[in-house]
Amino acid sequence: MARIVDLDEAAALLAAGAVVAIPTETVYGLAADATNEAALRQVFALKGRPLGNPLIVHLPDAIAAQDWANGTGDPAVTALLARFWPGPLTVVLPARPTVLPLVTAGSGQVALRVPAHPLARALLARFGGALCAPSANRSGYVSPTCAAHVLADYPDHDLAVLDGGDCPGGIESTIVRPLGDTLQILRPGAVDLATLRGHWPGPVLAAEPGALPVPGSSPRHYAPRTPVLLVGRDRLAEAGPTDAVLAIAPAPTGLDAADLRTLPADPAGYGQVLYATLRELDRAGHGRLLVQRPPAGEAWLAIANRLERAAHPERLP
């Protein structure tokens, strides 16, 4: 059975090479010492994560990034980090040779982030090192945004959980890679493209599909067990009495569905409650979940990306 621990115990467990689930401003992570290979292997084993899927390194501040990556001194990169750290932006840079291959999946590139959540920051300060902390869900499932989600995902494990309440963001970090003048978006997320453009001198471009063959970008991910159909608003009426519907405000009327949830019509508000709503609906065991397709456009890019993957027809293992 997973159990709740306090900050002191969490830091002591991490120092002893154990895994601790921690809150961040995006989602909960499964944290382990980023320099301890045995501890990191436990993270992969617990999540059922393929070993070829690299891990994001969580740091106390931008100065610590110099120990992990080259290129942090580039003026455009320095300015980017100064603007967005602490915060939900992950930056992929050439890795220092000392970074464990398990962290980079042997790619020679390391993903770095300085979380903003006060408990994550306090833990990093107390621990005194760097933590890998992939989202604390079982691999492929919906990310957890509160301690109860984490506890539910690991019923058979003695997993320590640092409870920070609900995550304020609710959607994973945006992952970017500086490539010459260009800032490549590897995963849309909490920081939107319009905001990034204001703080990067060159082009800010979505990566070509397949530019980075890492499993985190596999087509099915973030997915409930209930089959998800992503449809236009006019097709929500196809939901039958055994189906659930996830709509965008205002609430549709006249539906025959077993459950109707209506989420806010702004991407930030929607993202905050999306995973909790998906998990709740999934637990109810509906026949299908009909999800209203979000509006086109960059502001909804991260949400659309998560919903498309949740709706991918490939079956969960």
Residues that bind Mg ion (CB under 5 A): 135
Using the rule CB under 6 A, which residue among 88, 216, 252, 267 binds ligand AMP?
216
Site size toward ligand AMP (CB under 6 A) is: 20
**Structure-token match 């020679």, residue found:** 108
Residue 58 CB, nearest distance to ligand AMP (Å)?
Answer: 9
Using the rule CB under 6 A, which residue among 186, 255, 260, 303 binds ligand AMP?
186
Binding to ligand AMP in span 38-97, by CB under 6 A: 53-56, 92
Residue 53 binds which of Mg ion, ligand AMP, none (CB < 5-8 A, kind-dependent): ligand AMP
Centroid of chain to Cα 188: 10
Going from the C-alpha of 315 to that of each of 68, 225, 226, 293, the distances in angstroms are: 36, 9, 10, 21
Contact stretch for ligand AMP (CB under 6 A) within 107-115, 155-163, 225-233, 251-259: 107-115
Contact stretch for ligand AMP (CB under 6 A) within 9-17, 76-84, 144-152, 210-218: 210-218
Residue 111 binds which of Mg ion, ligand AMP, none (CB < 5-8 A, kind-dependent): ligand AMP
Binding to ligand AMP by residue 308, rule CB under 6 A?
A: no
Assess contact for 292 and 231: CB atoms under 8 A. yes
Residue closer to ligand AMP, measured from CB, 134 or 178: 134
Going from the C-alpha of 4 to that of each of 22, 48, 69, 159, 209, the distances in angstroms are: 10, 22, 34, 9, 39
Binding to ligand AMP by residue 212, rule CB under 6 A?
A: yes
Give the single-character DSSP code of 131: E
Q: Tokens for 17? A: 């090479």
Residue 170 binds which of Mg ion, ligand AMP, none (CB < 5-8 A, kind-dependent): none
Provide CB contacts within 8 A for 268, sequence distance 6+. Answer: none
Q: Rounding to the nearest 10 degrees, give the CA dihedral for residues 82, 125, 170, 289.
A: 130
**Structure-token match 């992969």, residue found:** 44
Binding site for ligand AMP (CB under 6 A): 53-56, 92, 104, 107, 109-111, 134-135, 172, 175, 186-187, 212, 214, 216-217
